[in-house]
Amino acid sequence: MNKIIADHEIVNIHYPVEGNYIIQLKSPVNIPPVKPGNFAEIHISNSPEIFLRRPLSILDIDYEKKLISFYVKIIGKGTKRLGENNVGDKVNIIYPLGNSFNIPDNVKKVLIVGGGSGIAPFILLGKELKKKNIHTTFLLGGRSKKDILLTEKFSKYGEVLVTTEDGSLGEKGMVTDHSIFKPDNLDFDKIYTCGPNAMMKAIGKIAVSKNIDCEVSLENMMACGFGVCLCCVTETQEGNKRVCKEGPVFNVNYLKWQT
């Protein structure tokens, strides 16, 4: 897979809600093919004391205009400082990294479940599924309606369902409480999910119990981001695997946390 490591210029940065921003960068060269699930390692250039790059899923790409964008939830110093940059500033990024979601030929109907910043890899996946004429349902979960972002963008690629814990948008409750998980409604060939570990484990458990193929995109903490430091490993049926290299996408049946 061709990779880019280059300074990209910030062409847009906006905060749809406090604590969350979308940052769009212009590449100085043609963007190599990016697959849904790939991520980038971002250097926090405006903060010299943060020397480790931060991993972010690739939200969207415009190959013609050489634009790449990310959806970022502020968690700590790195994500906060990145969001303090201005249009015109440069950010050094390496991508595309990691593996990608699998779309088997026999899949006709899929459910995508995203929680928090875990929605980020699913715009590219939605685009790919639409190209293949696969019926897609997005289920987005958050604490309240301010956590539910990009619904308009997702609706271009499929049906959008929402849950919020406080009931301010969509069905009230945890994402796994949504009526789509009632046995009569759970009619999917495949489930993809990304978000907090507890959410992914719960979704994975439902998928396994219903014999539905399920892939999760893990967001383990990373250091090097390219397979050397081993700080991102996850336990699988074949021993420890690096989330940055063999992942971040894994089949739930392959992960040890399902057993």
Ligand X SMILES: Cc1cc2nc3c(=O)[nH]c(=O)nc-3n(C[C@H](O)[C@H](O)[C@H](O)COP(=O)(O)OP(=O)(O)OC[C@H]3O[C@@H](n4cnc5c(N)ncnc54)[C@H](O)[C@@H]3O)c2cc1C
Is residue 193 within the footprint of ligand X (CB under 6 A)? Answer: no
As given in the structure block, the two tokens for residue 217 are 């995109």
Is residue 24 within the footprint of ligand X (CB under 6 A)? Answer: no
Q: What are the backbone dihedrals phi and psi of residue 152, each rounded to the nearest 5 degrees, phi first?
A: -60, -40
Q: Say which entry of ligand X, ligand FES, none residue 71 contacts (CB below 5 to 8 A, set by partner kind).
A: ligand X
- Residues 122-151 touching ligand X, rule: CB under 6 A, are none
Q: Say which entry of ligand X, ligand FES, none residue 230 contacts (CB below 5 to 8 A, set by partner kind).
A: ligand FES
Side-chain half-sphere exposure of 159, counting CA atoms within 13 A: 9
Query: Which residue, 128 or 219, has its beta carbon nearer to ligand X?
Result: 219
Size of the site for ligand FES (CB under 6 A): 12
- Residues 233-252 touching ligand FES, rule: CB under 6 A, are 242, 244
Is residue 248 within the footprint of ligand X (CB under 6 A)? Answer: yes
Cα distances (Å, whole numbers) of residue 156 to 9, 32, 39, 91, 234: 28, 24, 22, 29, 34
CA distance 218 to 234: 9
What is the CA 220 to chain-centroid distance, rounded? 12
Which helix H or strand E contains 111, and what residues bound it?
strand 109-115
CA distance 9 to 65: 13
Is residue 153 within the footprint of ligand X (CB under 6 A)? Answer: no
Q: How far is the CB of 222 from ligand FES (least distance, A)?
A: 4
Q: Which long-range contacts (CB under 8 A, 24 or more apart) does 229-238 make?
A: none
Is residue 77 within the footprint of ligand X (CB under 6 A)? Answer: yes
CA distance 25 to 91: 8
What is the CA 183 to chain-centroid distance, rounded? 27
Taking CB under 6 A as the rule, which mask of x and - marks residues 216-235 in contact with ligand FES?
------xxxx-xxxxxx---
Is residue 79 within the footprint of ligand X (CB under 6 A)? Answer: yes
Q: Say which entry of ligand X, ligand FES, none residue 72 contacts (CB below 5 to 8 A, set by partner kind).
A: ligand X
* Binds ligand X (CB under 6 A): choice among 24, 57, 69, 136: 57
Query: Which residue, 55 or 170, has its beta carbon nearer to ligand X?
Result: 55
Q: Say which entry of ligand FES, ligand X, none residue 224 contacts (CB below 5 to 8 A, set by partner kind).
A: ligand FES
CA distance 97 to 117: 18
Residues lying near ligand FES in the complex (CB under 6 A) are found at 222-225, 227-232, 242, 244
